[in-house]
């Protein structure tokens, strides 16, 4: 009976861990930054990333578009370097980019998804708009 309980607990833990892990296919796409946490750690970057769009394309190209505050509601300016690329490490749940040298740790809490920039400490709540 004790072995059965241990086995059940292991299966439950493994299923929970697996359900929170994302694949490269899950990560690929357009992500809208809906909230920036820990904005005091880097106020300038936090302000720039508010309502930004992060595009992780299937061909592994990468771009960040910042929403322009002085223009129409949907005017964006691309701020990443040309030919920037990204890669995904499924075991560590991290996105690494070239050119901008960002490393984003992906985490989930309930139905929310977060990208945390390892360098600045900023935590971006993101969602796929479609």
Domains of the chain: 22-127 (2.40.128)
Largest Cα span, the chain: 67
Report pLDDT digits (tens) over 81-120. Answer: 778 899 999 999 999 998 777 899 999 999 999 999 998 8
Q: What is the pTM of this model?
A: 0.76
What is the rounded distance in angstroms from the CA atom of residue 85 to the CA atom of residue 62?
A: 5
Euclidean distance between the first and final Cα of the chain, in Å?
48
């Amino acid at each position: 009976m004790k072995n059965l309980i241990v086995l059940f607990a292991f299966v439950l833990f493994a299923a929970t861990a697996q359900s929170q892990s994302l694949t490269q296919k899950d990560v690929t796409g357009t992500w809208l930054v809906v909230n920036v946490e820990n904005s005091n750690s880097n106020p300038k970057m936090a302000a720039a990333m508010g309502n930004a769009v992060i595009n992780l394309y299937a061909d592994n190209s990468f771009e960040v578009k910042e929403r322009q505050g002085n223009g129409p509601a949907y005017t964006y300016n691309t701020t990443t370097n040309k030919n920037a690329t990204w890669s995904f490490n499924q075991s560590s749940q991290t996105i690494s980019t070239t050119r901008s040298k960002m490393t984003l740790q992906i985490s989930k809490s309930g139905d929310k998804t977060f990208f945390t920039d390892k360098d600045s400490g900023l935590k971006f709540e993101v969602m796929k708009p479609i």
